[in-house]
Homo-oligomer: A and B are copies of this chain.
Amino acid sequence: MRRTPSLADVAREAGVAPITASRVANGAENVDEATRSRVLDTMGRLGYRPNLAARALATGHFKSIGVLTSSMRSPGNMWTIGEIVTAAAERGYTVTLLPFELRGGETVVNAYDRLTHEGVDGAIVVAERRLDDDTSITLPPGVPVIFIDAGGGDEYTVIDSDQAGGARMATEHLLDLGHRTVHHIAGPRESYAAMRRLAAWRRVLEERGLRVPEAPIGDWRSTSGHEAVDALLADGATAIFAANDQMAFGVLQRLHELGIDVPGQVSVVGFDDVIDADASWPPLTTVRQAFDEVGRVAIADLLERIADHDRPTAGVVVPVQLIVRGSTAAPA
């Protein structure tokens, strides 16, 4: 008695050829109803479970896509990944998570190496950090790859929210309220997204001929927002645009500590609209990224690329939306 029944067992038991059982298992049309139900019944009775490895070996594709990610901690990343998983599942694909960095200190290259073994039909790189160009070269050929939130050069498809547009909206919102300028707390230099937001913020100020204050560089975490506040206030800040919500939370906290009224004395804007952005005090004005849309577009594009490897690469920019809440107002 073998451990687990195979299609051959089912076929023998049901009195059909293995291929017919296979057709039933795959829901093929051209099977007689009586035969189908007999096979189905036998499968149930035997407790048949298709072996995906065998199927993948025979068909050459795995119905699985790999998601390479550097950080499972960042709320935005997790959100994106969740949406990718859902979108993939809807299309009958499974998602395998491949972490960039292990605690032992494995590198990006190793993650790619891992990818080459995984038996995935394609991959999505969700990297908040910029990848060095020479590591991206090590991507295994023949595996379609899509980048989210990272510069991948022209050779790969990059899908991302409209970072520049969002930063522009945030900055213009504050200026339109009457602030003389806007102070920015940037994300880390390694992040393409952070650099795009920084550049767009600067651009708006320059376009309007306004003073461009020095922008401290944060690490995305709330503490770096917290720590940046004092210097910004010393520089006369009345409007602070943080490159993500977490840093904005840190800013809010420091302003509360100092007894500074928000938005009465200082306005604050974040970026991302993470899950609790509306639960802060005051509720945070921020730029909402359509993470679900990003995930959907990424999956859709990747599946097309899997079907046609020679599809030309093309980036997609997903629109963002300014969500005005209670942390912004006209200057005193």
Contact = CB atoms under 8 A, between A and B. Distances in A.
Interface of A: 3-4, 47, 49-57, 62, 64, 72-73, 75, 78-79, 81-83, 85-86, 89-90, 94-99, 102-104, 114, 116-119, 140-142, 222-223, 225-226, 246, 249-250, 252-253, 256, 275-276, 278-283
A250 B82 CA distance: 24
B57 A53 contact: yes
A86 B106 CA distance: 11
Contact of A96 (B82, B95, B283): B95
Contact of A102 (B56, B86, B102, B246): B86
Contact of A249 (B90, B102, B280): B280
A280 B250 CA distance: 8
In the A-B complex, list the 3 residue pairs whose CB atoms are closest, starting with the nearest: A72-B82, A222-B279, A52-B119
A253 B279 contact: yes
A89 B102 contact: yes
B57 A85 contact: no
Contacts of A252: 279, 281
Given A53-B55, A226-B279, 8 more contacts: A54-B57, A57-B57, A72-B83, A72-B85, A73-B275, A246-B275, A249-B279, A253-B281
Contacts of A64: 96
Nearest to A87: B103
Contact of A281 (B53, B141, B256): B256
Given A253-B281, A276-B276, A283-B253, A86 B103 contact: yes
B140 A49 contact: yes
A116 to B, nearest CB: 5
Contact of A253 (B83, B253, B275, B280): B280
A82 B119 CA distance: 21
Contact of A53 (B49, B62, B104): B62
25 contacts: A47-B140, A50-B117, A51-B57, A52-B117, A52-B118, A53-B62, A53-B119, A54-B57, A56-B119, A72-B82, A72-B85, A75-B78, A85-B97, A86-B99, A86-B103, A90-B102, A95-B96, A96-B96, A226-B279, A246-B279, A249-B280, A252-B279, A253-B279, A256-B281, A281-B281
A278 B276 CA distance: 13
A44 to B, nearest CB: 12
Given A75-B75, A81-B72, A280-B253, A118 B98 contact: no
A3 B222 CA distance: 49
Contacts of A280: 249, 253, 280-281
Contacts of A73: 79, 82, 275
